[in-house]
């Protein structure tokens, strides 16, 4: 465990996920993606997710065939007045990692940061996905919100923010040579603190999930929540292959201190039973991969006995929020879950879009 603290010279901040949101970006699964063999299973999950988003924010969807998507959304009960579909080709559906991260200046004005996406270290083709944010911006999808492309490979799932200057990440992902091999740890720290206007960077050195292609994204392991809370995956089964690493991660979390010097309020999530694909490969089922959305939390479930307990923990972390369960067992067939397929946009970014549309 380690942390870096630095006064940022850049007056901006990366808002917390529980702050007001204007939209959630989704990329629709299609026959040219790895979802092709299970489209009939996964499209209903995306439709239910988009419908849930549309009741609380704009569902901004990119898809190669918008006309094929609209009937599915209607059947799922989406508020079609709060759905916008933009025709774009994609390699896959992991909007969390190729969508923009939005920072706000002191007046609350947004700036979209479009980081490089290389398919989690060149594991998968990502040429189309890496262009989604720029193409969507050029098509007016973000209205007049400005866009900047930092010279850094970074996925949204690899960093958490409390909106008050603290970032949380994992060394296994950000320091992997398959992302930014020319940069040292110190250089990466400095860039993140400056780009996000943060002054504290908490590093987890331990923790992983089998079947995870991301090299230990933080949003699969530990999540920041209001009132100096961290929600995290915990494994009490000493026979499980994750046990040692997750016990070590828990010790790191206990050693972390808030900006005020106090321990964090730690809420462990239950450990679901092991899930496997048809070939016997373990799948990364994690309850930490939830999405916070305007007074609600969309939480993944896996048809598991631990589902109810996980929902209760998430509810404890977000009092006053409606906890909405979404069956994500089909999503982990491609080694991701609910948070991985979404990217939230702050309300300020979408108000820019609405003003631009009305002109």
Model pLDDT for residues 267-301, shown as the tens digit of each residue? 999 999 999 999 999 999 999 999 999 999 999 99
Span 332-339, average pLDDT: 98
The pLDDT, as a whole number, for residue 10 is 46
- Confidence band for 204, pLDDT divided at 50, 70 and 90: very high
CB-CB contact of 340 with 20 (8 Å): no
Mean pLDDT of the chain: 94
Cα→Cα distances 72→34, 51, 62, 75, 280, Å: 20, 10, 14, 5, 31
The pLDDT, as a whole number, for residue 352 is 52
Distance (Å, whole) CA 195 – CA 173 = 18
**Radius of gyration, alpha carbons of the chain:** 19
Q: First vs last Cα of the chain: how many Å apart?
A: 51
- Confidence band for 351, pLDDT divided at 50, 70 and 90: low
The total of structural domains in the chain comes to 1
Q: Which domain holds residue 194?
A: 2-358
Model pLDDT for residues 131-160, shown as the tens digit of each residue? 999 999 999 999 899 999 999 999 999 999
CB-CB contact of 317 with 288 (8 Å): no
CB-CB contact of 32 with 122 (8 Å): no
Is the pLDDT at 341 greater than 90, yes or no? yes
Domain with 282 in it: what CATH number? 3.75.10.10
**pTM for this model (two decimals):** 0.94
293: left (phi over 0), alpha (psi -120 to 50) or beta: beta
């Amino acid at each position: 465990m380690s942390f870096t603290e630095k006064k940022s010279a850049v007056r901006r901040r990366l808002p917390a996920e529980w702050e007001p949101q204007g939209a959630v970006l989704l990329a629709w699964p299609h026959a040219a993606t790895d979802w092709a063999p299970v489209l009939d299973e996964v499209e209903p999950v995306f439709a239910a997710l988009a419908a849930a988003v549309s009741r609380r924010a704009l569902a901004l969807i990119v898809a190669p065939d918008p006309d094929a998507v609209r009937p599915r959304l209607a059947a799922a009960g989406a508020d079609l007045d709060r759905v916008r579909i933009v025709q774009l080709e994609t390699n896959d559906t992991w909007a969390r990692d190729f969508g923009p991260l939005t920072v706000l200046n002191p007046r609350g004005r947004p700036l979209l940061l479009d980081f490089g996406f290389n398919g989690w270290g060149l594991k998968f083709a990502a040429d189309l996905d890496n262009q989604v944010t720029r193409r969507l911006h050029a098509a007016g999808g973000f209205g007049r919100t400005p866009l900047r492309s930092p010279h850094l490979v970074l996925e949204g799932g690899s960093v958490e923010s409390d909106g008050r200057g603290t970032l949380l990440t994992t060394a296994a992902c950000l320091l992997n040579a398959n992302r930014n091999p020319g940069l040292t740890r110190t250089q990466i720290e400095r860039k993140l603190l400056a780009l996000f206007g943060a002054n504290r960077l908490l590093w987890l050195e331990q923790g992983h999930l089998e079947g995870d292609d991301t090299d230990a994204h933080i949003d699969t392991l530990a999540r920041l929540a209001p009132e100096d809370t961290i929600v995290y995956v915990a494994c009490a089964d000493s026979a499980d292959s994750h046990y040692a690493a997750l016990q070590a991660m828990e010790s790191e979390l206990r050693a972390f201190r808030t900006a005020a010097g106090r321990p964090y309020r730690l809420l462990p999530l239950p450990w679901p039973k092991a899930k496997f694909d048809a070939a016997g490969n373990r799948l990364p089922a994690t309850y930490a991969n939830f999405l916070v959305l305007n007074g609600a939390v969309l939480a993944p479930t896996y048809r598991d006995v631990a589902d109810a307990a996980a929902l209760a923990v998430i509810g404890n972390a977000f009092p006053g929020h409606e906890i909405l369960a979404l069956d994500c067992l089909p999503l982990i067939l491609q080694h991701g879950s609910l948070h991985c397929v979404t990217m939230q946009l702050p309300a300020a970014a979408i108000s820019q879009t609405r003003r631009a549309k009305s002109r």
